[in-house]
A and B are shown apart, each in its own frame.
Chain A
């Protein structure tokens, strides 16, 4: 019987920092790292080396040969929005260059057992969940990356959370307008962004390229079922606009705006003994401002 290896650890010894790359798949010579707390068990980025067995019956009825496709890297990161990191974290999924290109990022993930670096990570999708009941706002990013490498130079002291506000942004409500009429009382709001990454074939055992495609933005919100506005919007195609507001007790304010939404469906929820809710699914289009979704961070007055 063997004892522990000395690398057993709890989640508080796992750390993440992220920096933007200038060239896809290459960590800058002088990286500007941002330490990002991982919410819950929310770091699932990993390399997968999937295999296939040639369809030749070579070796008989047992799989004597397993061939590697190539190493593909992907997974999710769950975190919360803070005044110091919100623009950076949202920008990973939402920012595009004038030519429509999405940014790529290098991630250092430290665990005592396997410190590693991810290169060429691009946000494939984003899901921001906001709840009115407790004000919680949780952001999940799904990445695809070029490579995962061991990074034995990493240590716990490389991660500095000192500049972070201990309190994250809280969901403070949403202003919704259906054909100019205000709708109030949002209970839950999910904002989803899909960047539709196109992945290349294998090149030297890694993905050859990742290219962001056409962005799809959708919103799902749960509101008390107290009027026919959304039902009529499904039937008549009325335009909806939405502004979700997140506040920070120190006075910072984050606004996420979707100027033009089309209602696809309304799903009623009416469990016995509870207030009936309408879950509204909407898809975003580009509004008069030329944007489908924007975020604005207003720092607190000094």
Chain B
């Protein structure tokens, strides 16, 4: 009988700090009024640091990362409410939850006190189609909420025109923020926030880059947990920057010393497409086969800033001091933001994402890929079928399942489990341990 190789593994030392930071960010959000912070309704996509020039602010994100996500029955109810308003299952699943939450008067609710935190302004950078349209629904819900949005340019390839377009929007945004809030815009705070965000993103990119190591130092669920600070839109804070540096250093050591996320790693997978935001065991279901989901193009490009080479390796965006850009004036800062988000941001390059995926899969030494075809996230599903074709042509085994990242009723557990089991079997893997259900609670009712 073959002996299964076991890699050394150990818990992440920075995990406790991550949890503490997450708790603190929630506390800070709901105590915003005590400090006179501005409350901003807005997604956590790029550019929260633009708001830093206004002084203290808290982001109230429509992305469903709060406790409501834990309650599958509540989620189902919220989805139903959005549907009843005319926004069907093909609309952005996560943002349907935000709308449902608003319609139930739960959005911005402090779950401990029941108090509702209402936003002062809406400010958002628009990175996908669903977000672009869904943000208008919040406007209609919060009648007369001042609003400004910035478009992250879609590109076939990075070009100067895109830098100019984004920079122009950022200049306009700063003027709007000053005028609308009546606050003076402090360029020093803007620079400080942006440089922190920039560094946070680079440390985060490096963390993901270390996933090319065998065994993988982290699994995808750990990566997702690291990303929660990004989803909170907190990457401009010095303590978050410091956390990501500490985490990157620790992951580098794990990669060097061969410390595995999964001791029994014998199969490496990309899990492409959105993973359920609600509690699920999808990412770790594979572990029973000794398979580990190590990341994906989607995860890496969500908050990472890098370029992908033809061999799948990365050129991570340089640190501010290495970029060679002036960083003294407001114009300098806004220009550098535009450069980082156009030159080192593969995400909006829709046409390139398929080749990127295949090349990265090879570079990260994956044995196959699992595609979540998300019925409620068409932006991330764009290119998914073509990627499946490309993976097959590249000789990389691939499977897929359908679901919706914020709608548990779209996930057919039985079918997904059958698909995964069959895929694992096709890779010649047998279970090492019993499986667990994909969902941790019942849906509906």
- Chain B associates with chain A: no
